[in-house]
Structure 1
Amino acid sequence: MKITRSIEKSTLAIAGAVLMAAAVIAPSAVASEKVVLAHAMSKEHIFNQVADKFLASLDKNAPGQFDVEYHPGGDLGDWTSQFEQTISGEIGMTMTFPATDFDPRLNISIMGMVANSWEEAANIYGPGGSMVKVYDEIYSGLNMKLLAILPIDFGGVAMRKGSGKVPVNFPEDGAGIKVRVPPMQTAIKRFEYLGFNPVPMPFSELYTALQLGAVDGRSFGPPSEIWQMRDVLETYVFTRDYFEQGAFLVNKDWWEGLDADQQAKVQGAADEAAAWAWKEAESISSGLIANIKNHGINVVELNPAQQEKMSSIIQEKEWSWMEATVGKDLVDQIRATTKSK
């Protein structure tokens, strides 16, 4: 169902009294800045909570200055469509994911084993993090302004009901398993290296594919999405092979049309919402894992040896492949950031 919310315009007082019937009174009211904020995720997703925080902060600190039409849940298209619509200016603001078709350097967003803990993820991607300026430069070249990198969660591999598979030793356990991956070359390469048969597939087709057995499982699954698809899953291997981030983006032309005070108000509201997200995301993740277990899904953690073997495969093979995709300088910068050799 379409949900539309607007920040109400404050009533503008008309200063002065009517002096003479013949006097011409110039209008003094300034219209609110209209803009659409959209994302493609469900109400359970952290994007929705971040949007609530952002809208509340903007309403409080810039009353009457913005008229925001809020569209969650994908009623304006899937996340890739909203990414493109924000580039063109059809959507003013979006919370989405890096679309690598528009700039291959965005493949760094799903590089495996960059962060190994929530603390590391915050230092790399959080407010003032070491990779924020890199992303900001990339998005600027795509006619977008990055307001914040948003934390989603670590990802894992989930197996459909009836598969009976629990892949924990790589690459041997992946043999013969058809696993859905996002239609991104980095995703395909990683799960080839980990021994699986990767099947590129849009997210919108995933639930039905799991339900019908077109794929045996899914990769790139943060707990929020596992919970969303809980009815068709039996096992969740929480590999933590990558840290999923979202991007809070605005159209650059729209942004540059704002005055300095308006920009400061929007950025301040985004900063406040992002700070809340980075503070609460780990707790939200723990709650989702508990819900997944209580629903009866088998949640499996890799032991240290299994984790180390998977990490070695990803950092030796995937990272080397990434050098040819995004450039050695950028990968070396990530190596320095993570202190990986």
Structure 2
Amino acid sequence: MKHGFIPAISTLALSMALSSNMAFAQDYTLRLSHTGAPSHHYQTITEQFAKEIAEKTDGAVEIQVFPSDQLGNQLESVEGTMIGTLEMTLASDTVLSNWVPDMGMLNLPFLFEDMDEYLEVVEGPVGDMLSAQVEDQGAVIIGWWGNGMRHVTNSVRPINKPEDLEGLKIRVPEGKVFVDTFKTLGAGATVMSFGELYSALQLGVVDGQENPPAHIITQNFNEVQDYVSRTGHIHMGSPLIMNAHLFYSMPEDIQKTLLEVGREYDRRHIDLIANLEAEQWEEVAERGMKINDVDKSLFRKAVQPVYDDAAATFNKDILDLLTK
């Protein structure tokens, strides 16, 4: 019988008693939660990952994918993965920053020019140090997957310069850097879960939000937002995490396979997003949203106080590597 997390713990003692050539003899069923809609690239990449893991473990590992926060919002899913009530979550670096504050430095505004720069950083020493901190909280980072550069939408006016954000209520995800960034730019930063966002925009609880184009389309934000300003202000990564106790209870062959495939999908996911975005921007325009680009240098200058605060907040060694 296939099992999830609780039975997997009980197999640890048994696996230690058996010879090492028993790898793949035990079956595992892992639930993987993510926040994207079924049409989002999160679903595409997790389904591909699940299929490849099943193939490379000869069916010993079955990954069941649950989109749209079906197993709980991101905070709940990340916490569940850390304590072991959920096996895997496609998380976000900003949500992880609630447990590992240093993860928040990956969200510093205008830190990365594009997703390639992000991948170069997280696949190096910075990623290794942050992974160790996440593991201290009970989860293993299987892969540093992507999300895309984030852009501001709203129902009031185009955002061409920082001053245009003043007085607007902008929904932001859980994370200090997001809140600080939009407060510094003069907006009312309002934290709420992604699942509540559409209705909040519809009811005027907030004026706008910020996300990559994939979320704009799959969540139909064009129905409740008129303007999208391509600010590219923050990159949010989507680390794939797994409960550490479960991971280390598995045979080494499976551990190795999960990590190898997970890291191969770092690049695969980034490329998938990049290829989709050209078409997505066309669809955003076709849906009637008014698109404008901004002079990022104006915004970079305006958010300097966020960096001043970061120097006093984050691990200096990691921050120095990140910003050198």
Is TM > 0.5 for Structure 1 vs Structure 2? yes
String of CA shifts for 1:23-79, please: whole Å, max 9, x gaps.
Answer: xxxxxx944123222222212222211111111211221112113333222111011
Q: 2:64 aligns with which of 69, 75, 89?
A: 69
| Paired residues of 1:53 and 1:273 also in contact (CA < 8 A) | no
1:119 and 1:203 map into 2 onto residues whose CA distance is 26
Other-structure match for 1:218: 209
Asked if structure 1 preserves the Cα contact closer than 8 Å seen for 2:152 and 2:230, the reply is: yes
CA distance in 1, matches of 2:231, 2:184: 15
Contact kept in structure 1, 2:144 and 2:263, CA below 8 Å: no
Deviates more, 1:176-185 or 1:226-235: 176-185
| Equivalent residue number for residue 310 of structure 1 | 299
* Structure 2 residue runs without a partner (length 5+): 5-23
Query: Which blocks of at least 5 consecutive residues in structure 1 are unaligned?
Result: 1-5, 7-28, 337-341
Aligned equivalent of 1:329 = 317
Give, in whole Å, the separation in 2 of the partners of 1:245 and 1:67. Answer: 25
Q: 1:329 to 1:270 in 2, by over 3 A?
A: closer
Judge conservation of contact 1:156–1:237 (CA < 8 Å) in 2: yes
Q: Distance in 1 between matches of 2:319 and 2:260?
A: 31
Q: Which residues of 2 match residues 255-334 of structure 1 at below 5 A?
A: 255-302=247-294, 306-314=295-303, 316-334=304-322
Matched AA of 1:106: M
The 3-state SS of whatever aligns with 1:69 is strand
Alignment coverage as a number of residue pairs: 298
Question: Which residue identity is paired with 2:317?
Answer: D
- Cα distance between partner residues in 2 of 1:331 and 1:42: 33
Q: Deviations over 1:105-135 (max 9, x none)?
A: 121132111111233233223xx34532132
Identity of aligned residues (%): 19
Q: Deviations over 1:144-178 (max 9, x none)?
A: 11111111110011012xx2x112111x2222222
What is the identity, as a one-letter code, of the residue corresponding to 2:61? F
Match of 1:144 among 139, 146, 164: 139
**2:110 maps to what in 1?**
113
Contact 1:33 1:66 in 2 (8 A): yes
The equivalent position to 2:120 in structure 1, one of 114, 120, 123, is 123
Structure number, greater radius of gyration: 1
- For residues 47 and 64 of structure 2, the distance between their equivalents in structure 1, rounded to whole angstroms, comes to 12
Letter in 1 for 2:141: L
Structure 1 Cα separation of the partners of residues 257 and 105 of structure 2: 30
Greater percentage in helix: 2
**TM-score, normalization by structure 1:** 0.82
- Specify the code of the residue in structure 1 equivalent to 2:241: L
Structure 2 equivalent of residue 189 of structure 1? 180
Distance of 2:190 and 2:28 partners within structure 1? 44
Q: Residue 81 of structure 2 contacts residue 242 of structure 2 at CA under 8 Å; is this kept in 1?
A: yes
Distance in 1 (CA, whole Å) between partners of 2:176 and 2:264 is 34
Q: Tell me which moved more, 319-328 or 267-276.
A: 267-276
Return the alpha-carbon distance in structure 2 between the equivalents of residues 264 and 118 of structure 1: 26
What's the counterpart of residue 18 of structure 1?
A: none
The structural deviation recorded for 1:251 is: 0.6
- Alignment partner, residue 203 of structure 1: 194
The amino acid that maps onto 1:75 is Q
CA distance in 1, matches of 2:49, 2:152: 32
Structure 1 segments, 4+ long, off by >4 Å, are none
